[in-house]
Amino acid sequence: MSFSEEAVLTLDQALGQLSLEARELYLDHDVPILDQPLTPLSFYREYVSPNKPVLIRNGLQHWSAITKWTPDYLREKLGERVVTVAVTPNGYADAITDGKFVMPEERQMAMSEFLDIMDHPDQYNGVFYIQKQNSNFIDEFEDIIGDVEPDIPWGTEAFGLKPDAVNFWMGDTRAVTSMHKDHYENLYCVVRGWKKFILIPPTDSAFVPYDTYQAAKFTEKDGTFHVEAEKETGQIPWIAVNPLAPNSQKYPEFGKARMLEVFVKEGEILYLPSLWYHHVQQSHGCIAVNYWYDMQYDIKYNYYNFLQNVNNINKSMKKD
C-alpha cells in the first residue's frame, strides 16, 4: 500500500500514532486476566508473540509454598542461612536519589535477622529488601526450593527453554523497584501478599525520558546513610522520571505514556513481556518468585531498536 497520497506526518506525530495504534489494535485498556493458565501454544500466540502482559489466576495452587511460607516456617527452615539483603534509607535501590543513580548497600545477614527486621521495621535503620536478581533463589534458598517448581512448566514449553534465572523477593512495603525494563520474558509469581506493577509498553518508549547519572552506592556509617560515588562505574543511563511523582515541567512528554496498573496477589502469576517498562511496589513482607526466560531477538526487537533510533533522531532535530 502506498501512503503517498496521505498527509505526511511529523516524527512526533508518527511516534504518537504508534502509541495510539498499539492501544487500539491489540492492547486492552487493562491488563487482561485469565482464570487459569492457557495451553503453551495459546499463551505464546495470544500473549508472548504480541508482547502483551496478562495476569493468570489459579496458577500456583499446587505449590506447597502457598500454604507453607509463613515467617515461622522460613525461620525454621532458613534461620541460620546467610542471605543477601539490599539496604537503603528510603526504599529506593537502583534508583535516582539526589541526582545520582544509587545502588543499595548489600548486607549479608542470617535469615532470622532479616525476619526480625520484617517483624519490627521501625526498630531498624533503613529499608530492607531481598531482591538480588542473579538466581538468588537457587543459590541462597535451597532449603525451600522444593516448595515451588524449578520452572513454570507451561512457560518452559511455550518458550522452548528452561528459565535463565529464578529470583526470590521479600521485603519492606517501603521498598520500591524503580522503573526499568529487562531483556527477559518474565513470569512473576506472588506467594504471599501483593505486588503492584505500573507498566508502560515499549511502543511508548519515546515518552519515557532517560538521562545519565553518576553511579553511587548507599553506605551506612554510625547510623547514617551516605551516598558515595562509584567512580569506577562512571555514568549510568536510567529513566529520569518516577511514575508516582513525575516532574511534568521537566519531562512533559512522559504525560503521553500510557501507564497500566496491575495488582498481583497471592497465587497469581503476571506475564511481564520483554522490554516493557515496569515499576513495582509491594505489601509488607510480600514474598515472590520470578522466572526469567530468554527473549527472542527477532523482528520485534529489530523494530524496537529502529524506534529508539528514530526517537533519538527526533530529539536531536528539536535541539538543532
Beta strands in the chain (DSSP E): 33-34, 54-56, 82-88, 92-93, 95-97, 100-103, 105-110, 127-130, 165-171, 176-180, 184-192, 194-200, 210-221, 224-229, 235-239, 260-265, 269-272, 277-282, 286-294
CB of 296 to a copy of itself, least distance (A): 6
Q: For a copy of itself, which residue of 151, 211, 230, 266 counts as binding (CB under 8 A)?
A: 211
Asked whether position 164 contacts a copy of itself by CB under 8 A, the answer is: no
CB of 22 to a copy of itself, least distance (A): 5
Separation of alpha carbons 35 and 163, rounded Å: 24
- How many residues in the shown chain lie near a copy of itself by CB under 8 A? 57
Separation of alpha carbons 167 and 128, rounded Å: 16
Q: For a copy of itself, which residue of 50, 150, 246, 267 counts as binding (CB under 8 A)?
A: 50
Asked whether position 318 contacts a copy of itself by CB under 8 A, the answer is: no
Measuring CA to CA, which residue among 287, 257, 308, 283 is closest to residue 131?
A: 287
Rg (CA), the chain: 21
Asked whether position 40 contacts a copy of itself by CB under 8 A, the answer is: yes
Residue with cell 500500500: 1
Q: For a copy of itself, which residue of 58, 212, 233, 248 counts as binding (CB under 8 A)?
A: 212
Q: Which residue lies nearer to a copy of itself by CB, 128 or 207?
A: 207
CB of 283 to a copy of itself, least distance (A): 31
Q: For a copy of itself, which residue of 30, 134, 210, 244 counts as binding (CB under 8 A)?
A: 210
Asked whether position 233 contacts a copy of itself by CB under 8 A, the answer is: no
Asked whether position 307 contacts a copy of itself by CB under 8 A, the answer is: yes
Q: Which range binds a copy of itself by CB under 8 A, 48-56, 65-73, 90-98, 138-146?
A: 48-56
Cα separations in angstroms, 206 against 11, 183, 292, 306, 307:
11, 18, 26, 12, 8
Q: Are strands 165-171 and 100-103 parallel, antiparallel or unpaired?
A: unpaired
Q: For a copy of itself, which residue of 4, 108, 123, 249 counts as binding (CB under 8 A)?
A: 4
Q: Which residue lies nearer to a copy of itself by CB, 46 or 113?
A: 46
CB of 208 to a copy of itself, least distance (A): 10
User: To the nearest 5 percent, what fractions of the chain are helix, strand and coil?
Assistant: 30, 35, 35
What is the DSSP secondary structure assignment for residue 295, as one 8-state letter? P
Q: For a copy of itself, which residue of 35, 123, 298, 318 counts as binding (CB under 8 A)?
A: 298
Cα separations in angstroms, 240 against 84, 133, 206, 253:
28, 22, 13, 12
Q: For a copy of itself, which residue of 32, 49, 133, 151 counts as binding (CB under 8 A)?
A: 49
Q: Which helix (H) or strand (E) holds 301?
A: helix 299-319
Separation of alpha carbons 179 and 243, rounded Å: 8
CB of 309 to a copy of itself, least distance (A): 4
Q: For a copy of itself, which residue of 37, 203, 259, 269 counts as binding (CB under 8 A)?
A: 203
Q: Name the site residues for a copy of itself (rule: CB under 8 A).
A: 1-6, 8-11, 13-15, 17-18, 21-22, 25-26, 40-42, 44-45, 48-52, 157-160, 203, 210-212, 237-238, 296-310, 312-313, 316
